[in-house]
């Protein structure tokens, strides 16, 4: 009886172990299949250029302020602060976690849309 259970436990652990290996292996191959990309958004003339960007989760976006006035980046919905205040010539890099619209906390008419397909 105890031998039966120990054999059964061995078989179960082999099956579970194999399933875990398959899941981890497929996840790793997906990760290895693509490289994170850095996208640059120039802030100029009170606009984010480009105003709309197709990105993938894990990519980074660098906002570069080329205006002479400060700008920043906040979450359009939550109004949570994403970047530091960017003085002229300063930049800030952010890692994409989802599709979102951003805006400038000082100038809410400035919008930046990051689209994750």
Cα 38 to Cα 48, 49, 57, 70, 99: the distances in Å are 16, 15, 11, 23, 16
> Judged by CB under 5 A, which stretch of 14-22, 82-90, 91-99, 100-108 contacts Cu ion?
100-108
The answer to the question of residue 111 lying near Cu ion (CB under 5 A) is: no
Give the pairing of strands 47-49 and 74-75.
Answer: unpaired
Q: Give the nearer residue to Cu ion in terms of CB position, either 96 or 104.
A: 104
**Three-class SS state of 6:** helix
Q: Which of 42, 58, 76, 107 binds Cu ion (CB under 5 A)?
A: 107
Q: Does 81 bind Cu ion (CB under 5 A)?
A: no
DSSP state of 71: B
Which strand (E) or helix (H) includes residue 20? helix 2-33
Q: Which of 48, 104, 112, 114 binds Cu ion (CB under 5 A)?
A: 104
Among 71, 83, 96, 114, which residue sits at the site for Cu ion (rule: CB under 5 A)?
A: 71
* Under rule CB under 5 A, residue 47 binds Cu ion: no
Which of these, 67, 42, 68, lies nearest to 53 by C-alpha position? Answer: 42
Binding residues for Cu ion (CB under 5 A): 71, 104, 106-107
């Amino acid at each position: 009886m105890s031998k039966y259970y120990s054999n059964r436990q061995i078989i179960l652990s082999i099956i579970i172990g194999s399933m875990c290996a398959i899941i981890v292996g497929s996840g790793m191959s997906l990760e290895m299949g693509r490289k994170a990309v850095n996208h640059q958004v120039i802030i100029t003339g009170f606009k984010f250029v480009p105003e709309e960007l197709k990105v993938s989760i894990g990519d980074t976006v660098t906002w570069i302020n080329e205006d002479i006035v400060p700008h920043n980046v906040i979450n359009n919905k939550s109004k949570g602060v994403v970047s530091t205040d960017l003085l002229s010539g300063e930049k800030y890099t952010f890692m994409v976690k989802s599709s979102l619209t951003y805006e400038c906390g000082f100038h809410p008419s400035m919008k930046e849309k990051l689209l994750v397909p």
